[in-house]
Structure 1
Amino acid sequence: MSDALSVQEGQPTARRPKRWHILVFLLPAFLVYSAVMILPLIETLRLSLFNTVDGQSTFVGLANFQTLFGEERWAHDFWNALKNNVIFFIIHMCVQNPIGVALAAMLSIPKLRFVTFYRTAIFLPTLLSFVIVGFIWKLILSPIWGVAPGMLDLVGLKSLFAPWLGKPGSALITVSLISVWQYVGIPMMLIYAALLNIPDEVIEAAECDGVTGWSQFWKIKLPLILPAIGIISILTFVGNFNAFDLVYTVQGALAGPDGSTDILGTLLYRTFFGFQLQLGDRSMGATIATVMFLIILAGVSLYLFVIQRRMRRYQF
């Protein structure tokens, strides 16, 4: 017996094979991601620390940030865009996401008919191009040839119609609601999937205790889908502070009227590429992009290290 053990101990242990094929499969995706995302980000951060002096690129440290926050013209445009961006984000958080949760809750009702049709119809605008959505809503809301005045007249509310996209006080809210209409299908589908993922045992236990209907949703289902709501919230935050396309399509690069719909994305576009008689400034554009990156990084870090830890206790 001891001889057998000694022979077994003397045998070399079998090494696990190195799975080099995993690296081979990951390499193309890593190269593409690096070329499209990582390298441009690094170059943007580097460019924000340089400026053109006498036709040459010169390291100026934080001078571009000092110009952005210190000079009156730059500071006015930046803080106006940041304020509009915050309002844009708040409207999505307070309108889009609650509507998405409500729609998902209604679609998860077992006896509801035509669920597939409702899901498809609500999610369909998400698949449309932002150019199509922007021009369609410009035509609908146009006071000259739009259909909105006629539709309001049919229900006796024509007196409420106004050129909402042309008034500084209502333009940003109108553009935000157009964006909500287009993208409300995303939180709806994510919450709907989270509701379907709740174990049947939990629902059956709640029904045995007499908790049914909307009371069951508020007391049982809503706490269980809080992690999904958190993910939707951070996606909304990142998407809104990266927003550009819909505002550009509806209101143009100047984001009028009087800059009332100007957000960080449109300010970055005008600064970096220039517009009409304004020449582009790569260094200041990179500076604005860096500030946007830091804002998004701060929001995501807050979610990952503070909010998500508190919501883990609701996960199965």
Structure 2
Amino acid sequence: MTDVDHLALDPPRPAAPAAAAAPGRRPHIAVFLAPALLVYTAVMIVPLADTLRLALYTRLDGVPRFVGLDNFRTLFGDPRWSGHFWPALINNLLFFAIHMLLQNPIGLGLAALLSLPRLRFGAAYRTAFFLPAMLSFVIVGFTWKLILSPIWGVAPSLLGAVGLKGLFHPWLGQESSALVTLALISVWQFVGIPMMLIYAALLGIPDELLEAAELDGITGLAQFLKIKLPLIWPTIGIVSILTFVNNFNAFDLIYTVEGALAGPNYSTDILGTFLFRTFFGNQLQLGDPNMGATVATVMFGIILVGVGAYLFGVQRRLNRYAL
């Protein structure tokens, strides 16, 4: 057998690349990550650590004094602070519940309609529904404040045009309806975000799977409930946790419409506005950075617990279900 025959039977093996030698020898990764890590540390980690530190101190005669968890006991138990903290927390839970029960289901329904292959002017509809989410809180707040004004607003005239003027009330000026009205305004503004996320997930479903379902006679609503909905549950979970985080960080819309006092009579007060008044003060109280940091730490703890429960509870079940 010749050398050529040996080469044909045993082709030469390519040499192992030297770059795959040791996984730890990749300094370029650190170079690429360093700028983002430095910015994130300066903007997020350092302020968060300093907030946690401030929550453990108070100031006596201008001198910082370590008090441990006393600020938290004061926040939860002292009527001067707890009288505003607990109602603000309850209002925040209600604010979040309205978004979960209205914004996300409406976004899901709109995404399902927009994903229909025979829908005409789909791009125009997507733009119209998503456009409010691109507007400033100040623009949205003042616009709806003008619309719902009982003096110069257009809402009474519009209801009167269809014979329903008797249903109009100063919703933003009544304690019983102000918070719900602001939550509905927020739902109107941000319904486009869950719509687009779920819409993208629906477009990512393989066509072969849907065609197989059609061959089995599963079409229309049955196809959405039995095929599409189970496949987009992870996206719905992400939308839910984003809604939770955003609602417990909410501040701008209520501050724009009702001010720092979150009127009428603190009926629209949530944790964000309570934190603002506590930290920076207002016309009725002086600012207290240490108590403000305590409120911010409690808000961080609530968000951390919620996100952790989702990641270690719901997300794991969704992953097992997807597999």
Structure 2 length-normalised TM: 0.92
In structure 1, stretches of 5+ residues that fail to align are 1-11
Which residue in 2 is equivalent to 1:182? 189
Does the residue aligned with 2:198 lie in a helix, a strand or coil? helix
Determine the C-alpha separation between the residues in 1 that align with 2:26 and 2:78: 56
State, as a whole percentage, how many aligned pairs show the same letter. Answer: 70
> Following the alignment from structure 2 to structure 1, what is the Cα–Cα distance between the partners of residues 271 and 129?
29
1:141 is matched with which residue: 144, 148, 151?
Answer: 148
Q: Which residue in the other structure is 1:55 paired with? A: 62
Residue of 244, 254, 265 corresponding to 1:258: 265
Task: Tell me the equivalent position of 1:200.
Answer: 207
TM-score (norm 1): 0.94
User: What is residue 5 of structure 1 aligned with on the other side?
Assistant: none
Using the TM superposition, give the Cα deviation of residue 209 of structure 1 relative to its aligned residue in structure 2, in angstroms: 1.1
Q: How far, CA to CA, are the matches of 1:25 and 1:283 in structure 2? A: 37
Equivalent position of 2:4 in the other structure: none
> SS where residue 225 of structure 2 aligns?
helix
Between the aligned partners of 1:314 and 1:127, the Cα distance in structure 2 is: 35
Please give the secondary structure, in 2, of the residue aligned with 1:194.
helix
> Structure 2 counterpart of 1:37, which letter?
M
1:37-64 alpha-carbon deviations (Å, 9 max, x no partner):
1100000001000000222001000000
Pairwise CA RMSD? 1.6
Work out whether residues 226 and 314 of structure 1, in 8 Å CA contact, stay in contact via their aligned partners in 2. Answer: no
Q: How do 1:141-290 residues align onto structure 2 when only pairs under 5 Å count?
A: 141-290=148-297
1:270 counterpart letter in structure 2: R
| Separation in structure 2 between the aligned mates of residue 259 and residue 13 of structure 1, nearest angstrom | 67
| Structure 2 residue matching 1:258: 3-state secondary structure | coil
Question: Counterparts of 1:80-91 in structure 2 under 5 Å?
Answer: 80-91=87-98
Deviation at 1:214, TM superposition (A): 0.9
Number of residue pairs matched? 306
- Relative distance call for 1:202 and 1:73 in structure 2 (3 A) is same
Structure 2: stretches of 5+ with no match in the other structure: 1-15
The yes-or-no answer on 1:309 pairing with 2:316 is yes
Q: Which runs of 4+ in 1 moved over 6 A?
A: none
Q: 1:98 aligns with which of 99, 105, 110?
A: 105
DSSP-derived class of the 1:302 partner: helix
Partner Cα separation in structure 2 for residue 110 and residue 235 of structure 1: 28
- CA distance in 2 between partners of 1:122 and 1:303 (Å): 28
The whole-number CA distance in structure 2 between the counterparts of 1:13 and 1:113 is 53
CA distance in 1, matches of 2:112, 2:136: 27
CA distance in 2, matches of 1:62, 1:292: 16
Give the 3-state SS of the residue equivalent to 2:285 in structure 1: coil
Mapped partners of 2:60, 2:109: distance in 1 = 56
